[in-house]
Structure 1
Amino acid sequence: MQIQNLFTRSIHRSINGVIKADQGDADSVWQELDEYVITRELDQHLRSFFESYLFALDHPQEASGRVGVWISGFFGSGKSHFLKILSYLLENKQVSREGESRRAIDFFQEKILDPMLAADIKRAISLDTDVLLFNIDSKADTSDGRDAILRVFLRVFNEKLGYCGDHPHIAHMERYLDEQGKFDAFRQAFADASGSTWEEERDAYHFQVDALATALSQVLGQEINDADAWVERFEKDFSLSVENFAGWVRDYLDKQGNQKRIVFLVDEIGQFIGQDTHLMLNLQTITENLGTTCGGRAWVLVTSQEDIDAVLGEVRASKANDFSKIQGRFKTRLSLSSGNVDEVIQRRLLDKQPEAKDELRKIYREKADILRNQLSFTNIGRTFKAFTDEDNFAAVYPFAPYQFQLVQRVFESVRKAGATGLHLARGERSLLDAFQSAAKAVGPSEVGVLVPLYRFYPSIEGFLEGVVKSTIDNAASNPSLELFDSQVLKTLFLIRYVDEIKGNVDNLITLFIDRIDADRQALRKQIEDSLQRLEKETLVSRNGDDFFFLTNEERDITREIKDVDLTSADEARELGELLFKESLRDQRKFRFTENGKDFGLNRMCDQHPLGNRIDGDLMVSVISPLVDDRETWSEQRCILESGQGEGSVLLRLEDDRDLARELRLYLQTDKYITRKNDGTLPLNTKRILQDRAEENRQRRQRLSTTVDRLLREAEVYVAGQKLEPKASSAPMLVEEALDYLAACRT
């Protein structure tokens, strides 16, 4: 059976994976309501919201401090969709499609099973409620400054009442005419005089001053010759403050009756505020004044990628202000977690037909042990989920459970690292969209196929910065690389900024598993070969066992580091430091216990003397894997060399494939950073150099550990004899060898 035939609904159907506050066409609204999934978590959030909302209705004297709702959730968690659903319910919006009309509440008759919650929602929507839903970033004007949030609130409020949104003083004039009961008459008089509607011309009324003067004179019963001056008076006298705004909202509600409510639903407020102290205070004051002035009849619901404490924490850290009041203004706090997204994707996209579930359960029973081994990670910062049982396998197939956690972190980390443009930062892509795209890619395949991580790359490809995208695109056309290399590069990019998972070969194998019975050993060989090619092209870099994707600037710096010249003496000197100063604790003397005589020590590394040689001192010589004529250092030669003259201690280290590469890169990086770090570099270059310095610190630690191990496991030759020392540590091994040498010389 093909994967695309497993599902209850076609995976190729159009799904509005990105919920936008300003998207209100009938088809989109219908799908948003029809396919909305009430998860266990959302059920609790709906209860919390409507409990608070109804409490304000029943206790108006206590409602003023409870009108703020803060909805938080990571990128793609569904907070915007939740906010929009609340707007539909509060308005009890009517929507039509293909001749059928339904109210918002009708879509939830079968979704909400608890009669108490259903009753609460019906009671709440029985009120006459105006809903103002908007994305604040799309409504704000960059020139609004400190009052940006207040001006957006006023703009959407004016637009709701039919007033001018772009020019507050024009709206103020319209409000004045409306209070006089003459606004409709003015609009008609203006249309008669100008031949155009007031709404079409008000933004550029200067071109219709005669018609404006005629209309104003007619409805106000006074001669107005200079319409420009009359409107300018409104602009001059217009004063915008939070108190005025709250008063206008109260007057509107009073005019509509005691049961009238108004709800401002603001998407992405946290991102808009950022670390701006004034904007946070602006939001606090608006919510506080609407609550007190309107007696709990005006509500403010906002969404943010961070919870309120995190947003305040950032502001406090930068400005050290006390924002305890705003926390009190948003008593209702709803946080959407990753578990909510998992459940939504499974129920909305991956729901299977009964016979398909049975087949998948059977496969799991037969392959459970294989799957456990296939989907394992090493050196990770969190526990990634595995399949728990046959039902879980049937629910999430063709995906693996860890992907719901990892892809979420990929989207978050890539956006925060700035590797994407503005669209992804604003939530232009959702996890639902990413999983649908990946599912469609494997749709024609037979059951047994799994989705590897690189299948998620197309979901963000169109939103990547040009330099990032071109790096990956160019790899596909590079004649020195293969198609598989491009997939490895995409995978390394996706996990580049995810701290919880390292790009080692074992983890890459797991991320590349594309069949239940995939051959891990064959994948290992394929991935290792690919990493060599990518590293040669300076598209990836290596830190120990971990590989990572290089950005353009990182790639330039990596190339420059590789071009730093070194001599064999440089490498031998540094290796000598690691051997003699660190592993052997910089021992300079040896006391022969049998006669108490002290000997000085001469030291050599790969035939290069370390320090001055003094006649009569004992010689300790190390032959490492880096020595030029390594293949000639056989056991016979080591015996001969150790027996020359007065004899010496010769330690022959075992081969180590990483030692030369790690030591050379350590020295090149250290030289490069010392030379380059002159204090005049751009911030981004400084950050990259700091990252390289930290990697080099870790590299030095690995080198020290490797050298110590090689010394402990070294072949030991003394005065023409091969010893079998009993010591377990490097210093004691050398002590034992020196003791034998001293005995030979006395």
Structure 2
Amino acid sequence: MNIESIFTKDINRPINGVIKADQRDKAYNELEEYVITKEVDRHLRQFVNAFLQGIDSRNDAEVSARMGVWVSGFFGSGKSHFIKILSYLLANDAVTEDGKPDRVPLDFFIEKAAGDSAFQGDLRRMANAQTEVILFNIDSKAEQNHSRDAILQVFLKVFNEHLGYCGDHPEVAHMERFLDGKGKFQAFIDVLAADHNLDWRAERDSYQFYGSEVAAALSKVLSQRIEDPQAWIDNLDKGLALTIENFAKWVRQYLDQSGGAKRLVFLADEVGQFIGGQSQLMLNLQTITENLGTVCDGRAWVVVTSQEDIEAVVGGAFEKDRSKDFSKIQGRFTTRLSLSGANADEVIQRRLLEKAPAAQDALKALFREKGDILRNQITFRDSGITLRSFGDADGFVECYPFAPYQFLLVQKIFEASRQFGATGGHLSKGERSMLDAFQTAAKAIKDKPIGALVPLDAFYPAIESFLEGVVRTAIGRVENIADRSDFDARVLKTLFLIRYVEEVPANIDNLVTFFVDEVDADKRALRSEIEQSLLRLERETLISRNGDLYFFLTNEERDINKEIKDQDYSQADLNRLLGDVIFEDVLRDRRYRHAANGKDFDLTRLIDLTPFGNRVEGSLILSVLTPLAPDFGTFNDARCIELSVDGSVGQVVVKLRDDQKLSDECPPSAPMAQI
């Protein structure tokens, strides 16, 4: 039985791990596979309660002014996915998929809420509330150089598109709205098609090129002579100014025309990033939310997402103006849902890692036999966070072929890489997800037998194409190592992955754990391979070492380290530095007191047979031999003891441990700064 065969669902199947607001063709799959974790369940109930309260308090002006929902959460927490699933449930339009019966989104949620009849009733009531939704990513809909009214412009654009009007040209949409209000819009479209063979919806963005055709069609449907359609549109535009009040009025008119019970929900993704530190945009959003609620009697809602909570966004926007009353802005978004992504492991386990019955039995048997070995394989030293090992057989089955610590660590790797600029904009906008990363890593070992585990470097391909070019270039330099092994690139990638995760020190013990790729992995052999790779990578200035910690070097850091390495030094410089470390930092005493008679004796200190400091006549000699001493190998333990007990000399010879790292870093021609 290999890894590929142990899962309930095909590990190779396409999984929509990237949530895009404008993609609707995967609705059935998204609803079917959506996992309602404990955190999501809590927030879903909070939203449903708020929405139903809005229905029940339709004529309450105070409640209507608070029809805003603020959904926050850092990258990868699932906030975009959450509001998209909400949009399906609110609209409750039938979804289809080949080979499966059509279903409405409510059906999926009723199944997921099985056993809770009260909540099922609330879900039914919300789903049947005649709601239309407009889901969009605000940055993708905005003009590149947005103005102070940028948020209003985007809201009007998506609203116009929802009604079938022109989105890119508000003045054209004004004309279409005017014609629609008179019941002439479809007639206008039909006249252009019949008399001029012109498809209005396809050509309206370039309407200026069809002035005569548009003029003729307008004249015909309005029964008035219009010679200059541009002047007519401009004049109409002046009477329909783009203001928040007018926008709210147009939304109200649409809702009234659609029926008194109709509701409209705007779901805007990544609003917090769009606002940034611009106070005017935050005020824009607050006023839109307030006016929509009051003018539409609580039938229009605004749901937004942000990587920061509302207090942080408002505080950042008004950092220089503390005279503003933040409470009014925050009061428009009384429903605040903060997603932490804490249950990412649950989502991955249920969507990706559920095991077939036979595989569950085989894995439990494996854990009974080798559970103690597994616990010892996954250990960490000096970690600032809790990186879990395998606990029991059930936990092993749920996580396999991943180790429990990887769910938390990979999430931190994604977040840290984005935060410190190691990845481009695509990753920061969610082009890759945790789910995608784990699927990629699982597929990398799908042909291996049960007992194989996923090492940490298997997650690197999930973000490789989104890394900044300088990072990929730095990692690609491993190919220039003449005596490289296949292990070198893996070590370098692992060091990059944890480069910005400060809580996880990159010592050899931890690196060995990251490379455990099977239950019975030989950690001693792994350690040896890793140590050799680290020496080669450090020699090529691809990594640096500080004590027992290793660090991936960016291009700038690499250049600095190369300059340091190129500094020349003499043997005297080396002895002086070694002497400073040994005699000034470690062995600081310059006199020795004899225990028997209490007399003090001066010490003459030697470092690698060379005097350190002044030589005192008649003093005792303390001679320290380092691995860098000439003929160090000839000073075996017996010879050092013989020299120390020679009564005619009066000396003590201390031979330091032969540390290969020191010898490799400081060969006779090596720069002093490498020590």
Q: Same fold (TM over 0.5)?
A: yes
Does 2:362 match 1:359? Answer: yes
Counterpart secondary structure, 2:367:
helix
Q: 1:608 Cα deviation (Å)?
A: 6.4
Does 2:102 match 1:104? Answer: no
In structure 2, stretches of 5+ residues that fail to align are none
Give the match for residue 472 of structure 1.
Answer: 475
Equivalent position amino acid for 1:97 in 2 = E
Counterpart secondary structure, 2:145:
helix
The 10-residue stretch of structure 1 (482-491 or 303-312) with the greater mean CA deviation from structure 2? 303-312
Q: CA contact under 8 A between 1:3 and 1:445: conserved in structure 2?
A: yes
Equivalent position amino acid for 2:483 in 1 = S
Pairs within 5 Å for 1:447-462? 447-462=450-465
Give the match for residue 78 of structure 2.
Answer: 78
**Distance change in 2, residues 1:518/1:584 (3 Å):** closer
Q: Which structure exhibits the higher relative contact order, with contacts defined as CA atoms closer than 8 Å and separated by 6 or more residues? A: 2
Counterpart secondary structure, 1:118:
helix
Give the match for residue 144 of structure 2.
Answer: 142
Deviations 1:255-308 (A, max 9, x none): 333311110111122232333333333322322332233232111112223333
Q: 1:438 Cα deviation (Å)?
A: 1.5
Counterpart secondary structure, 1:446:
coil
Does 2:196 match 1:198? Answer: no
**Distance change in 2, residues 1:80/1:636 (3 Å):** closer
Q: 1:624 Cα deviation (Å)?
A: 5.1
Give the match for residue 508 of structure 1.
Answer: 511
Does 2:31 match 1:20? Answer: no
Equivalent position amino acid for 2:437 in 1 = A
**Distance change in 2, residues 1:324/1:576 (3 Å):** farther
Q: 1:425 Cα deviation (Å)?
A: 1.4
Q: 1:95 Cα deviation (Å)?
A: 1.7
In the aligned structure 2, how far is the partner of 1:603 from the partner of 1:282?
Answer: 76
Deviations 1:83-113 (A, max 9, x none): 1111011000212233732211122332221
Deviations 1:664-701 (A, max 9, x none): 79xx9998xxxxxxxxxxxxxxxxxxxxxxxx9xx9xx
Q: 1:314 Cα deviation (Å)?
A: 4.7
Q: 1:134 Cα deviation (Å)?
A: 0.8
In the aligned structure 2, how far is the partner of 1:653 from the partner of 1:432?
Answer: 54
In the aligned structure 2, how far is the partner of 1:481 from the partner of 1:664?
Answer: 21
In the aligned structure 1, how far is the partner of 2:610 from the partner of 2:246?
Answer: 84
The 10-residue stretch of structure 1 (474-483 or 65-74) with the greater mean CA deviation from structure 2? 474-483
In the aligned structure 1, how far is the partner of 2:214 from the partner of 2:73?
Answer: 49
**Distance change in 2, residues 1:518/1:583 (3 Å):** closer
**Distance change in 2, residues 1:594/1:529 (3 Å):** closer
Q: CA contact under 8 A between 2:609 and 2:625: conserved in structure 1?
A: no
Q: 1:627 Cα deviation (Å)?
A: 6.2
Give the match for residue 710 of structure 1.
Answer: none
Pairs within 5 Å for 1:380-459? 380-459=383-462
Equivalent position amino acid for 1:419 in 2 = A
Give the match for residue 89 of structure 2.
Answer: 89
Give the match for residue 39 of structure 1.
Answer: 37
Please, what is the CA RMSD of the aligned residues? Answer: 3.4
In the aligned structure 1, how far is the partner of 2:523 from the partner of 2:318?
Answer: 50
Counterpart secondary structure, 1:143:
coil
More helix by share: 1
2:350 to 332, 338, 347: 347
Equivalent position amino acid for 2:332 in 1 = R
Identical-residue share of aligned pairs (%) = 54
In the aligned structure 2, how far is the partner of 1:275 from the partner of 1:656?
Answer: 58
Counterpart secondary structure, 1:120:
helix
In the aligned structure 1, how far is the partner of 2:147 from the partner of 2:565?
Answer: 48
Q: CA contact under 8 A between 1:54 and 1:124: conserved in structure 2?
A: yes
In the aligned structure 1, how far is the partner of 2:291 from the partner of 2:653?
Answer: 81
In structure 1, stretches of 5+ residues that fail to align are 672-695, 700-746
The count of corresponding residues between Structure 1 and Structure 2 is 664
In the aligned structure 2, how far is the partner of 1:296 from the partner of 1:174?
Answer: 26
Q: 1:208 Cα deviation (Å)?
A: 0.7
Counterpart secondary structure, 2:474:
helix
Pairs within 5 Å for 1:693-712? none
In the aligned structure 1, how far is the partner of 2:453 from the partner of 2:497?
Answer: 18
**Distance change in 2, residues 1:389/1:627 (3 Å):** closer
Pairs within 5 Å for 1:319-358? 323-358=326-361
Counterpart secondary structure, 2:20:
coil
Q: CA contact under 8 A between 2:417 and 2:423: conserved in structure 1?
A: yes
Pairs within 5 Å for 1:588-603? none
Equivalent position amino acid for 2:35 in 1 = V
Give the match for residue 132 of structure 2.
Answer: 130
Counterpart secondary structure, 1:301:
strand
Q: CA contact under 8 A between 2:73 and 2:339: conserved in structure 1?
A: yes
Q: CA contact under 8 A between 2:603 and 2:622: conserved in structure 1?
A: no
Q: CA contact under 8 A between 2:139 and 2:274: conserved in structure 1?
A: yes
Pairs within 5 Å for 1:307-326? 307-312=309-314, 314-315=316-317, 323-326=326-329
Structure 2 length-normalised TM: 0.89
Q: 1:207 Cα deviation (Å)?
A: 0.8
Equivalent position amino acid for 2:573 in 1 = D
Give the match for residue 249 of structure 2.
Answer: 247
Equivalent position amino acid for 1:359 in 2 = A
In the aligned structure 2, how far is the partner of 1:88 from the partner of 1:340?
Answer: 22
In the aligned structure 2, how far is the partner of 1:223 from the partner of 1:657?
Answer: 97
Pairs within 5 Å for 1:546-557? 546-557=549-560
Does 2:273 match 1:261? Answer: no
Q: 1:31 Cα deviation (Å)?
A: 0.7
